[in-house]
Structure 1
Amino acid sequence: MIDYAGIGRVLHRLAGTLVQQYDLSDVLDHLGTEITQILAVNGAGVMLEDEHQHLRLTSTSDRVLQRLEDLQIELQEGPCLLAYQTGEHVIVADIGADERFPRFGSLARDAGMAAVYSFPLRLQDKVVGALNLYRDTPGQFDPEQIEVGQTLADVATAYLVHAEDVQRSAVLNRQLQHALDSRVVIEQAKGFVAARLDTRPDLAFEALRRYARQHGVKLRSVSQDVLERRLSVEAIPFQEVTQHPAGGGGTGHQGP
């Protein structure tokens, strides 16, 4: 039996959450709670791929399931891993009778679970994790339940993708702000050096840049040191540029 009202709640929350910042673990925990009601299972867990392409437990509804999720990683055996590796859903109607997962099946049965249903988290042609559902009584999922299970896995993927987009955007914003802050500091130092040496700002900038290159430090660091009086202007090698009259490079030979 499927709780269709629960599906509506999940989609409504998804639409509202994606327009704001959120904690991925929190929303996945909440999604797992909703899934247990929608598909009448005892618990749910989500595993995601890390930067080394290894599955890691991200969310689970209780400690028993946390241990079962961890066991699949330790044993390198279980429906979650198979769904992740194949990109297809894995239905284990009776964990005690399924010969594909002998070690995990025995431990899951000892923990009180009888059926496991795993759905891949698919991002275009790449699988980035799996949604795992557990039930304490044996039983198949019919085609409609399988479709709903995969839809809920896709919701988890949407949360993951959006969280990564927000994180990348935040990193880019910090980088842009740092670049702007650096430019302000450099401009201030350039003006300060130009005033102290009574020279043009572009020549002051070249002097600061030359010092930074000679000492292997960033131009912003040199500028900051100048402004905060940790580096004296006199310590900066300054080379005045000799201006030549327009149209000539000194005195040339005059014709008769």
Structure 2
Amino acid sequence: MTREERLLAAVIEAVDTLVDDFDLIDFLQALCARCTELLDVSAAGVMLEDPGGKLQLIAASDEHTRLLELFALQHEQGPCVECHRTGTARLNIDLRSPAQAAPFPVFAARAREAGFLVTHALPMRLREEVIGGLSLFDSRVQDLSAGDARVAQSLADVATIAILQHRTIAHANQQRAQMHAALTSRVVIEQAKGILAERWNTSVDEAFDALRRYARAHQLGLSQLCRRLIDGQLAADAVPRP
């Protein structure tokens, strides 16, 4: 398989995130594997923002890289941490160079202990939204070419779009589920109002007001109370008549 074919396969994998059984961890592990294959680097790792905006390690190509990335998060330093903060790529960082490693000396020392000599970090970004970073590590002293840098950023961009698209779909599904639950609850409440109004020979508004007062007094959700009434778990006489 040519490099172009492998790159196309990586894009297709990203498109597959639109299916229902999308597994984020598996997808990003595959991204790390694709990076090492296509870019001829030794290792890769992916960090993503959690809902609170804090970076979390999600995937790494091997255990040494996983521990190194966790170390970076613990000390809040390293190219990927800076890349996420600024939204700017950091390429061809010689971890042996005091000048290049000056912004993150502790991380650089730990990376060298892990056997890495060069590192790169690329933002996972769509327009102005940065959701994480892609780290690349090499045990050899070699620069990432301009072409390889474009491929790396393209992989990060495609992964970002796939993740955001999946989040959009998941959010839409959640909203539909919430709407369905709301409509179901509405039907239950209407039924309960009808039961009490018929039993008391009163208006549904008065029955509804009685249900609301009982629910508040007993710290129950209104739909929860109405389901109990309909299912016979709560006797209609238990609700005070207005």
Could you say whether these structures have the same fold, taking a TM-score greater than 0.5 normalized by the shorter chain as the test? yes
8 Å Cα contact 1:3-1:39 kept in structure 2: no
Query: Pick from 123, 128, 153: which aligns with 1:125?
Result: 128
The residue that corresponds to 1:26 in the other structure is 26
Higher relative contact order (CA 8 A, sep 6+): 2
Deviation at residue 17 of structure 1 after TM alignment: 2.9
Deviation at residue 63 of structure 1 after TM alignment: 0.3
Q: Distance in 1 between matches of 2:149 and 2:167?
A: 27
The residue that corresponds to 1:191 in the other structure is 194
The residue that corresponds to 1:166 in the other structure is 169
Residues 199-210 of structure 1 mapped to structure 2, 5 A cutoff: 199-210=202-213
- Match status 1:106 vs 2:109: yes
Q: Distance in 2 between matches of 1:183 and 1:102?
A: 60
The residue that corresponds to 1:231 in the other structure is 234
Query: In the TM superposition, what whole-angstrom CA distance separates every residue of 1:110-155 from its partner, at most 9, and x where no partner exists?
Result: 2111211110111321322100111110111121111111111112
8 Å Cα contact 2:32-2:45 kept in structure 1: yes
Deviation at residue 36 of structure 1 after TM alignment: 1.0
Query: In the TM superposition, what whole-angstrom CA distance separates every residue of 1:77-107 from its partner, at most 9, and x where no partner exists?
Result: 2111121122111113431123323222222
**DSSP-derived class of the 2:47 partner:** strand
Task: Kindly name which structure, 1 or 2, has the bigger radius of gyration based on alpha carbons.
Answer: 1
8 Å Cα contact 2:14-2:159 kept in structure 1: no
The residue that corresponds to 2:43 in the other structure is 43
Query: Pick from 149, 153, 156: which aligns with 2:152?
Result: 149
Q: Distance in 2 between matches of 1:93 and 1:208?
A: 67
The residue that corresponds to 1:3 in the other structure is 3
Deviation at residue 27 of structure 1 after TM alignment: 0.7
Q: Distance in 1 between matches of 2:203 and 2:171?
A: 40
The change in CA–CA distance for 1:90 and 1:231 in structure 2 (over 3 A counts) is same
AA at the equivalent of 1:113: F
**DSSP-derived class of the 2:94 partner:** coil
The change in CA–CA distance for 1:217 and 1:74 in structure 2 (over 3 A counts) is closer
Seq. identity, %: 35
Structure with more helix by fraction? 2
RMSD after superposition: 2.2
8 Å Cα contact 1:93-1:141 kept in structure 2: no
8 Å Cα contact 2:117-2:140 kept in structure 1: yes
User: Structure 2-normalised TM-score?
Assistant: 0.88
| Structure 1 gap segments, 5+ residues each | 240-256
8 Å Cα contact 2:15-2:162 kept in structure 1: no
AA at the equivalent of 1:124: R
Query: In the TM superposition, what whole-angstrom CA distance separates every residue of 1:189-208 from its partner, at most 9, and x where no partner exists?
Result: 22322333344544433432
**DSSP-derived class of the 1:56 partner:** strand
Deviation at residue 62 of structure 1 after TM alignment: 0.8
**DSSP-derived class of the 1:58 partner:** strand
Query: Pick from 176, 181, 198: which aligns with 1:178?
Result: 181
Moved more, 207-216 or 90-99: 207-216
The residue that corresponds to 2:66 in the other structure is 66
**DSSP-derived class of the 2:64 partner:** helix
Q: Distance in 2 between matches of 1:207 and 1:173?
A: 30
Aligned residues: 238
| Structure 2 gap segments, 5+ residues each | none
Query: In the TM superposition, what whole-angstrom CA distance separates every residue of 1:50-91 from its partner, at most 9, and x where no partner exists?
Result: 233221101111101001111211222211112112211111
AA at the equivalent of 2:194: G
AA at the equivalent of 1:224: R
The change in CA–CA distance for 1:34 and 1:235 in structure 2 (over 3 A counts) is same
Q: Distance in 1 between matches of 2:110 and 2:195?
A: 72
The change in CA–CA distance for 1:180 and 1:113 in structure 2 (over 3 A counts) is same
